[in-house]
Structure 1
Amino acid sequence: MPKVLVVDDEAHIRELVSLYLKDEGFEIVEKSNGVDALEYAENHPVDLVILDILMPKMDGWVLCERLREFGEMPILMITAKGEAQDRIHGFKLGTDDYLVKPFDPVELVLRVKALLKRYRISTSNIVKLGSLSLDRSSYQAIGEDGKSVTLPMKEFELLYKLGSYAGQLFTRDTLIEQIWGMDYEGDERTVDVHIKRLRERFAEYEGEFKIVTIRGLGYRLEVKRH
């Protein structure tokens, strides 16, 4: 299931949000301030962020802006501020939706699900590539024989992204932005190196799926139908 990062300095709000989302099967990570939340999001895959505005160390405005610098993910703001100018400011910084405290937890769940659907984020952690299963909860690739291989995070995220949208072309720039983040200082050859490693690692599955190079454009993953 998708991983949701909940950021609020009020413990009871985090607990309320976590309770309702866990009941729906979501994986929840809680942080009490923007600095810790940003550090986590920079080093771990996150599918959606729920954040408060008024927080210590780094407020929600800055956190939202920083999150937008290194990747696309749904962002839902929860705050006591309900003025129109605050909502407009939040949308300008990149938030996707807005809830004002006190809020109905059921409405929160519905909005989270709507955002995930809008971003086309699967509600499952498993992607099937022929007989190979990619489990995002453990970063493992599991074969039909039950044998598993734990992949480095970037390799896994790259294969998982391509596999989640089999047949869709991704440019190198898009992959850099979505996997490494917009603030990545390397070049697009990083993608080529990781693609090469994935091809070598899963050479035995070439009859079931393959990563195709579209010259001058990028890559797409093709799953062979039997």
Structure 2
Amino acid sequence: MSKPVIAITGPTKGAVGPRFLVAQAVRYYGGEPLQLKPGDETKHFGYQGVVVTGGHDIDPVLYAAEPEVKPKYDAARDTLETAIIDDALARELPLLGICRGAQLLNVRCGGNLFQDLKSRRKLTSNRRTLLPLKTLCLEPDSHLARLLGVERGKINSLHNQAIDQVGKGLVISARDLDNITQAIEAPGRRFVMGVQWHPEFLLFMHRQRRLFKALVTAAREVG
């Protein structure tokens, strides 16, 4: 069969490295990457799966909250990725949200976010790192745990916000040592998952590559 097309969202400018790495992982597992940027939500593309990448904080107006930190938002990107996530959920397409992507997935399902994690960290560092230095604690009966094949793993950390209340139809599938949500998923769907870390920077770890393999595999099943 033809290669499944995987939409990869991102900002108008920047984030070239992460999107390139996601595209490489998609290609490696037999998918065809399609890079989408703000403005493309008004166009019609044929894709069978979606990766919503990381980036700026999500405007709290989207979950009916007041800003608690100095704003650094991207309204145009919020508009794009809101449309893409809603479309993927409506059409039951496989979806992987990375960092900001996981947060926006949660918001679109009715959840909200912690806007600043500093005061909530007791056992983990606020230091951002591309290296897998933080501990991931997986829910043993989750899709993510079955996919990674471990109860604990190592991840990187580049975020200052995280999921608070979980949206409708989603469950928590992993936390860190401070009990901060690190992954969510949608039971009963083909593949809908959000991870707070950046697996595209950990492609040297075979377990992290499984996220992209599972996404592309699920996209092949889309009619």
TM-score, structure 1 as length reference: 0.41
Q: Which has the higher contact order (CA 8 A, sep 6+)?
A: 2
